[in-house]
Amino acid sequence: MRLSQHFGRTLRDAPSDAQMTSHKLIVRAGLARPLAAGIWSLLPLGWRVFRKLEAIIREEMDAIGVEEMLMPVLHPAELWQTSGRWESVDVLMKLQNREGRPFVLAPTCEEVVTDLCRQEVESYKDLPRYVYHIQTKERDELRARGGMIRLREFTMKDAYSMNANTAGLDVFYEAIYQAYLNIFERCGIDIIPVEADTGTMGGSASHEFVMAHDEGEDRFVRCADCGYAANVEAAAFIRRDARNGDPAPLEKVATPDCKTIAELCNFLSIPPEQTLKAVFYTTNDGDLVLAMLRGDLDVNEVKLMSKLGASTLEPATEEQIAAVGAAAGYASPIGIDVRKEGGADGLLVIVDPSLESMSNFVTGANEAGYHVVNANYPRDFEVTRIADIAEPYDGATCEACGGTLHIESATELGHCFKLGTRYSKPFGATYVDENGQEQYVIMGSYGIGLDRLMAAVIEAHHDDYGILWPREVAPYDIHIVAITKDDTLYEVADQLYADLRAAGFDVVYDDRGLSPGVMFNDADLIGVPLRVTVSTRSLEQGGIEIKWRHEKERQILPLEGAVEQIASLLETGQAG
């Protein structure tokens, strides 16, 4: 491609609202342009990178026997109503046609592939089956951010597995897990697989593939000793012992103006871990929920929603809290009608396991201005369920090895889910087994976002001058710069350009005749791995000048045999 004929241009300055390096460089290098918040056009350079990313993904999917197909972006609403996600997924782009029929511009395709599975799979002989597609997706994001990191319209590779049993799912899950590691390695990304919450996708287990990054929107914990890693929404950790002696008699004490843990601890001169924190929520099903945990911990609302099977949580009002006999800021299950597990009546009380390592703690008396001291479970109150609902914290103890957990920021680049029968049951996607019995298909879902993958490659590979593309994902292999006003020298550069292309290389040729500084700066900004300069000076020195983008050194190659030498250099990745 000749830059004199190229659609798109480099920019000296980054957008004023750009914070992440990838956002700045994507715009400055002319890879893409924003149309609206979270909606981008890929220019030719960016599209070439996308095609390289797609090629890597296709090769790795093909290698493990996953067939490529294509599913639509526009889905009838009844599919999402069947799965139960019409109301529970808050980022759905919903619309109606002229007849008033509701549709979804889909962020993912579990519903469609399950409907296809229901039609195409009849017998155990039809399983297993594995498919994927690379397709546009839509999300009604509340806040698009990070350039191409969080978008409203984006491109996803999503794959789906259909197995006869969980053992088959487990085997394929391991295969695609390794394929994901291969994909990210080939893209030059240091990836960290972490255990993750299944969220609105559902299922029994999932893993995120994240890149540690200070500006990432995700957070995960990692053990410094054993390497355990998990998203904060799924991370397990040991609650330290907070027992305060043998059980003592329960006592009610006046605690005026002590609605918060900090105010209570200051008034009674006690540490936060000697208190039991109470937080009220309402769910999308209309349930009032009391979540309780040790006072130095915080509720992780995603964990809580997962334990409740809820899709939304909202803070409860003081009126709702009072209606069950509790007092906002002074609440506890003491004296409250608590719902039994599986029951329908009473207050739903979910308590973190930190309660089990506490004694003689302070909690609310359900009367404004009063708390009780020396509370002990289960002597003084009941709960509906004990479940992990706590946010992990930096310095917590690793449940796997007893080491220390640290919280890091990251960008999520891929996600794998063991869906099980989450979708096959509501859709009636079944098969007849060897004994003639009808069974539900066991499914999995596996996604990678290409837009954010391109951005992540740039975040991982850049310097002060621009992008440093790994060769396998670079838009071009070679960047020729012709520094001359002489037609004869242009003929030399033109012939080199033609010969390199004929040899099978992707070549960008700067034939614009601008100043050397402008053309070299553009070459550094665009970041093609190998720069080849044709100039009067280089020819006087014996040939053409070559320079790797990531190195300062330059060397001269004889013009004769240059194509073969360049091919050798690109094969070895070395300049000498």
Residue 245 placed within a domain: no
177 and 259 part of one domain:
no
Q: Residue 258 domain-assigned?
A: yes
Distance CA 144, CA 139 (A): 10
**Is residue 528 located within the same domain as residue 550?**
yes
Q: Are residues 331 and 477 in the same domain?
A: no
Domain membership of residue 18 (yes or no) is: no
Domain of 481 in residue numbering reads as 466-572
CATH of the domain at 117: 3.30.930.10
d(CA 180, CA 453): 12
3-state DSSP call for residue 142?
coil
Q: Among the three residues 436, 458, 480, which one is the final residue of a domain in this structure? A: 458
Are residue 65 and residue 211 in the same domain, yes or no? yes
Residue 396: the pLDDT is 93
User: Computed from CA positions of residues 548, 554, 555, 556, in that sequence, does the dihedral angle turn out positive or negative?
Assistant: positive
**CA atoms of 297 and 525, how far apart (whole Å):** 46
Q: Does 418 lie in the same domain as 334?
A: no
- SS3 letters for 253-284? EECCCCCCHHHHHHHHCCCHHHEEEEEEEEEC
Is the same domain home to 89 and 219? yes
Dist. CA 352–CA 341, nearest whole Å: 15
CA dihedral 304, 305, 310, 314 (to 10 degrees): 90
Token pair 């009220």 in the structure block, residue: 280
Same domain, 273 and 414: no
**Which tokens hold the place of 350?**
């979910």
Please name the helix (run of DSSP H) or strand (run of DSSP E) that holds residue 502, with its range, or none: helix 487-502
pLDDT at 572: 81
For position 539, which CATH number holds? 3.40.50.800
Q: What is the pLDDT at residue 144?
A: 87
Residues of the chain with pLDDT under 50: 575-576
Looking at the structure, do residues 280 and 217 belong to the same domain, yes or no?
A: no
Q: 123 and 226 share a domain?
A: yes
The C-alpha atoms of residue 132 and residue 15 are separated, in whole angstroms, by 36
pLDDT of residue 575: 39
Tell me: do 440 and 471 sit in the same domain: no
- State the CATH number of the domain containing residue 262: 3.90.960.10
Residue 576 has what pLDDT? 32
Q: Are residues 369 and 447 in the same domain?
A: no
pTM value > 0.75: yes
CA torsion 556-559-562-563 (nearest 10°) is 140
The total of structural domains in the chain comes to 3
Residue 181 lies inside a defined structural domain of this protein: yes
Domain shared by 343 and 487, yes or no? no
Cβ 214 vs Cβ 409: under 8 Å: yes
pLDDT of residue 31: 98
Residue 19 lies inside a defined structural domain of this protein: no
Tell me, yes or no, whether 184 lies in a domain.
Answer: yes
Strand extents, DSSP E, 376-460: 385-386, 397-398, 405-420, 430-432, 438-440, 442-449
Q: Is residue 380 part of a domain?
A: yes
Degrees, nearest 5: CA angle 283-288-290: 105
246 assigned to some structural domain: no
Contact 92, 103 (CB under 8 A): no
